[in-house]
Amino acid sequence: MRRIPWRSLLVFVFGLTLCLLFAHGRSTPYDNYTLFAQGLLHGHLWIDWPGPYIDAVLFEGHRYIVNDPVPGIFMLPVVAIWGTNANETIVACVFCGVATLAAWRLARNLGCSELTADWLAVFMLCGTDLLWCAMLGDVWYFAHVSCAMFLLLMLAELAGKQRAWLVTIWFVLACGSRFSVVLTAPLVAYWCAFGLLEPRRDWRRLRGALLTALPFVALYALYNEARWHVPWDIGHTIFYHQDAFVGSESGEPFGLHYLGFQLSSFFAQIDITSGPAFPYLVPGQSGQALTLTSPALALAFFARRSRRTILTLWLAAGLAAAPSFLYYVNGFIQFGMRHALDFEPFVFALMAIAARGGLRWYWNALIAWSVIVELWGCWYWNGFYRTTY
């Protein structure tokens, strides 16, 4: 009889339960994916637009969601039962639990002890924006949680059984959550052919990965053709031109001239002020730098394995991060830097490699700091910013 993986189950339950506790029954009003799923169930890609608080571009008389479609696909069974009353936040919390489990499994597959994997999984859950994004469940945040979950599942598979078809499925689902991570596709293909950890050459795995990806690529092209009459996604550019707050009627939402602003946001911005009454410290809503909220990410710089493994993981992190560093907004309304979730799974893998021999006290201290700061941000957001729903 196969032994029940109790530790894995407990990790999932811990991530899910903590997220549900912080969500405390919330149902986000920014439920674009619910509206998208409802549209699909009625045979169309456009949504019944409730108003300008929902990000949706106007194109040829219909409103279309801007965000990538995969989380909406997973909303289909829930919406089929509850309609537009479906709770998108609860699904985001489930994804958060799975992401926590995937992080734990990735750490174990990379050689960490169970205790070290526990601690690293807690960091991924509470020391990054994963918990904050999932407990709110808003469309933008749900997309980040979905992308991070699928990337962690992909990396855990690459560090484990290395089934190329499953690696590809997790990857295309990550791209379908946050399309910007498609820039890492060459590295995913490389890992399928040559392995992430141990060097090998297997062209059959690469062929299998490409054949698995083809139907998804075709579906995505058809999806865009049906919306914009071109096989690629121009939704973000259209939205940028229609964004009355920080957009522009011309130009592109990506550019090198945004790099300085993004570097400052990711590594220097504090945006915390002192208040006259409890709780005395007030986090601003434009975000806080990773150096403040998640300093334990620095452990990744101490990863030691084959040069090939370390180099490709850093390259993947850089490629996944590149669109965020060239984008016209840094996340806009957030605690921490939510766009970092698009590349943090690759950094997390490097952290796990660095922690294979255990964690020294100062790394434990940095993880504890990251967890405390992020939990404080979640608590503050619930208590002072999101008090009406």
Cα gap 43→50, rounded to integer Å = 19
Q: How many other CB atoms are found less than 10 A from the CB of residue 85?
A: 11
Contact 374, 294 (CB under 8 A): yes
Mean pLDDT within 105-133 = 97
pLDDT score for 245? 83
Mean of pLDDT values over 313-332: 96
Tell me: pLDDT of 146 over 60: yes
Tokens 């590149």 belong to which residue?
Answer: 322
Instruction: State which H helix or E strand residue 302 sits in.
Output: none
Residue 363 identity (one-letter amino acid): W
Instruction: Provide the residue type at 283 as one letter.
Output: P
**Residue 274 backbone dihedrals phi, psi, to 5 degrees:** -95, 140
| Rounded mean pLDDT, 146-165 | 97
Report whether 176 contacts 155 (CB < 8 A).
Answer: no
The pLDDT assigned to 48 comes to: 96
- Residue 69 CB partners (closer than 8 Å, separation 6+): 36, 176, 223
pLDDT for the residue 14 = 97
∠ CA 226-227-233, rounded to 5°: 110
Alpha carbon distance 148, 146 (integer Å): 6
Q: What is the rounded average pLDDT of the residues 370-377? A: 98
Per the prediction, the chain carries an average pLDDT of: 95
pLDDT of residue 171: 98
User: Among 151, 152, 125, which residue's Cα sits nearest to residue 14?
Assistant: 125
| 177, 317 Cβ separation under 8 angstroms | no
Give the pLDDT score at 388: 64
Residue 186 near residue 213 (C-beta atoms within 8 A):
no
Q: What is the pLDDT of residue 4?
A: 65
Q: pLDDT-based confidence at 276, cuts 50/70/90?
A: confident
Return the DSSP state at 334.
B
Q: In this predicted structure, what is the pLDDT of residue 18? A: 97
71-96 pLDDT tens trace? 999 999 999 999 999 999 999 999 99
pTM attached to this predicted model = 0.97
In the prediction, which pLDDT does 371 show?
Answer: 98
Distance CA 170, CA 164 (A): 10
Contact indicator for 152, 160 with CB cutoff of 8 Å: no
- N-terminal to C-terminal alpha carbon distance within the chain: 47
Tell me the residue ranges of DSSP E strands in 242-312. 272-274, 281-283
Quickly state the pLDDT bin for 183 (edges 50, 70, 90): very high
Q: What is the phi/psi pair of residue 283, to 5°?
A: -75, 130
Is the confidence at residue 387, as pLDDT, over 80?
A: no
The residue ranges of every structural domain in the chain are 6-385
Task: Name the helix (H) or strand (E) containing 222.
Answer: helix 203-228
pLDDT of 1 > 70? The answer is: no
State the DSSP code for 327: B
Q: Enter the tokens of residue 184.
A: 């890492």
Distance CA 91, CA 49 (A): 22
β-strands 56-59, 281-283: how paired? unpaired
Q: What 3-state DSSP class applies to 65?
A: strand
Residue 337's identity, in one-letter code, is M
Report helix, strand or coil for 86: coil
Distance from C-alpha of 145 to C-alpha of 95, rounded to nearest angstrom? 7
**CA–CA distance, 349 with 347 (Å, rounded to integer):** 5
The model's pLDDT over 8-35, given as tens digits with 9 standing for 90+, comes to: 999 999 999 999 999 998 899 999 999 9
Between residues 389 and 23, the one the model is more confident about = 23
Q: What is the predicted pLDDT for the residue at 389?
A: 62
- pLDDT of 195 strictly over 80: yes
pLDDT mean over 288-311: 96
Instruction: Note the pLDDT of residue 277.
Output: 86
Q: Which amino acid is at 302?
A: F
Average pLDDT over residues 353-375: 97
* pLDDT above 70: residue 253: yes
